[in-house]
Structure 1
């Protein structure tokens, strides 16, 4: 029997919220407090990505809840399924994984066709020129305490494809805590400072790395898989080049 078209969706992942909202308008009925794209999205807010209000989601009676294996807790996914809701859980650790996962999400949400932005995104990443000189980096994602990208992360794969290798890619943890003195002593070619999850700014972050080049980058382009993927290679490459001049 063919699957009934999905008409009510709750998203627990900011990048997937944007994906569904711009591709299948009117389908979303709920999203997290962190789902800020597209601007002006008018849906019921269901709490955070790590602490969604399960009872509020159940009350919305969605046909589908979309989640991510890293962004959301397994306990919350299990609670939603126990309440009788269908939950689609994505897993994206590398750029090539993003495209079939996004297609899967959109098909489950009843999108009639593969959107143009997804075609452009796949092309943009497939047509990247071979990077010349590769640069080394550390990528803080938090301070107090300092935490950085470690092994097996989507953001790390994004940077690698742009010719920037982060020095903790072989760490046993995915987001290790590393003392600031150790980060400085690693002497990377540049320090990449995204504006999420910690909001690094020109006044909050670069001062911790005197003598090192710092690139302030958009966290949405570095860590989100969704419509931002189409412009991420250009936006990130420009920010990285500017920092290394």
Structure 2
């Protein structure tokens, strides 16, 4: 079995669950750290010619991470493509099961059981917090409706301001973000790398939680520790 992954979180999930099947992955596939496979470009601009040359049995992708024209080009070249959709935590577990089976896993990995167990009793937070959650700046872009990261936060007791917006990742002017008067601003370190010196200064007077983007947005082995890691970061910023 030869697999190419175009999704960093799925790359990690497959690498630790079905060792040896990955033939290629994107430049952004940073976990596991020792992963030694052919790099095929970015998630949004993969080298489809390089992927085809690897002669994979399967390419795994995601409807949000990857562009349909690239996936269509792979299919036209005769490559089988499995496209996942992950909008909430339960769906993440279902899709991980599907991907790992398709990649030849003979049994359910222990980390997946541990992850599901970790999310059966989400961290309780009373009263619930209300947050603005930027994922990019220049222009400012935030979590909107129907996102995996939004569901993760909701299960940890934090509702985000733009959850009912018509767009999944709306661009909102900074003045409008401030005017929403959230209890908290959640700043992940990916896809935009917010840091203590790049992000919080835009929201003077508001508590800011700098959180791990891998724990907020990835659906893979990091799900097992995400409730603990994210819960601690949120409580530290806004007890």
Could you state the TM-score of these two structures normalised by the residue count of structure 1?
0.96
The aligned residue for residue 29 of structure 1 is 23
Tell whether 2:64 aligns with 1:52.
no
Give the superposition deviation at 1:184.
Answer: 0.8
The aligned residue for residue 18 of structure 1 is 12
The aligned residue for residue 105 of structure 1 is 99
From 175, 180, 186, the counterpart of 1:186? 180
Q: Distance in 2 between matches of 1:37 and 1:234?
A: 20
How many correspondences in the alignment? 239
Tell whether 2:201 aligns with 1:202.
no
Unaligned runs of 5+ in 1: 1-6
| DSSP 3-state at the match of 1:88 | strand
Q: What's the CA shift string for 1:3-46, capped at 9, x where partnerless?
A: xxxx1000000000000001111110100000001102100000
| DSSP 3-state at the match of 1:201 | coil
Unaligned runs of 5+ in 2: none
Q: Distance in 2 between matches of 1:142 and 1:90?
A: 23
Q: Distance in 1 between matches of 2:222 and 2:123?
A: 19
The aligned residue for residue 4 of structure 1 is none
| DSSP 3-state at the match of 2:119 | helix
Tell whether 2:80 aligns with 1:89.
no
From 211, 222, 230, the counterpart of 2:224? 230
Q: Distance in 1 between matches of 2:221 and 2:34?
A: 17
Q: Distance in 1 between matches of 2:123 and 2:61?
A: 33
The aligned residue for residue 3 of structure 1 is none
Q: Distance in 2 between matches of 1:116 and 1:131?
A: 28
| DSSP 3-state at the match of 2:237 | helix
Question: Which segment drifts farther, 11-20 or 179-188?
Answer: 179-188
CA-atom RMSD, angstroms? 0.8
Give the superposition deviation at 1:132.
Answer: 2.1
